[in-house]
Amino acid sequence: MSASGLPIGIASEASFGPHPAMPMLAVGQELLIFLDLERDLCVLEQRLEWRTNYSQTLLESDDQLAPWLAQVKFPSHSVIARPATAQVGVLLKGLNTNESLADAISLCRAADPDGRVWLETDMRAHCNPTRMRSIRRLGISLVHRLRSPCPECGSPGWGLLETKPGLPCSDCGTATELTLSEIWGCQQCGARRAQPRRDGRLQADPGQCPWCNP
């Protein structure tokens, strides 16, 4: 925006890794931000995205390759290859053909002292259709948020800021990690309001209770 002189901008960013509560499950944290310098307005929309192909594997023999490639949706989704020894300065991105991947693996094997290759999904949006769809869903949410004025100051951007856990178990009443209430607010003036879950759910299944199902 500084280079172009334009007063309005949109930016996207994400991080990927294990779910904090279920480490075996990969998730993505997608962020989309809207900036209006003339209004001094900054609106952030984000979501925890379960639909991701984020993954890595250490390739020691080519027999391991096909199942992992199928899992990460190659070749429609690109991958990254590098020697398993991180100090070796070889990094090949955007691999989306069998030929380019085979060449990259050969190069990485030759560069690694033990002939091992580290493969990972290329999570850059233009190389990852699954992430493109995530950004599209987030973009629609951002549009709805910008169309929602703050009841206190009238600024665009009223929406969900955070959730509060504690939905009680339907059997014993113990608080669970499921959402009990939502905090909606304005990122411009700081107004905040607590409200019930939008789905109207009042109790959690005992299967999700730390006491009934430890």
pLDDT tens column, 131-171: 999 999 999 999 999 999 999 999 999 999 999 999 999 99
**24: its two tokens:** 């075996």
Residue 205 pLDDT more than 90?
Answer: yes
pLDDT value of residue 187: 86
Banded pLDDT at 5 (limits 50, 70, 90): very high
pLDDT value of residue 107: 94
Banded pLDDT at 101 (limits 50, 70, 90): very high
Question: Amino acid identity of 178?
Answer: L
Sign of dihedral through CA atoms 88, 27, 98, 12?
Answer: negative
pLDDT value of residue 156: 93
Q: Which residue has the higher pLDDT, 128 or 89?
A: 128
Domains of the chain: 1-52+126-147 (no CATH), 56-122 (3.30.1490.20), 153-214 (no CATH)
The residue to which tokens 């279920």 are assigned:
22
Q: Quick one: what percent of the chain has pLDDT higher than 70?
A: 100
In angstroms, what is the C-alpha Rg of the chain? 22
pLDDT tens column, 13-32: 999 998 877 778 899 999 99
CB 32 within 8 A of CB 135: yes
pLDDT value of residue 211: 93
Per-residue H/E/C for 162-208: EEEECCEECCCCCECCCEEEEEEECCCCCCEEEEECCCCCCCECHHH
The pair phi, psi for residue 138, each rounded to 5°, is -70, -35
Q: Which residue has the higher pLDDT, 187 or 72?
A: 72
pLDDT value of residue 23: 79
Banded pLDDT at 1 (limits 50, 70, 90): very high
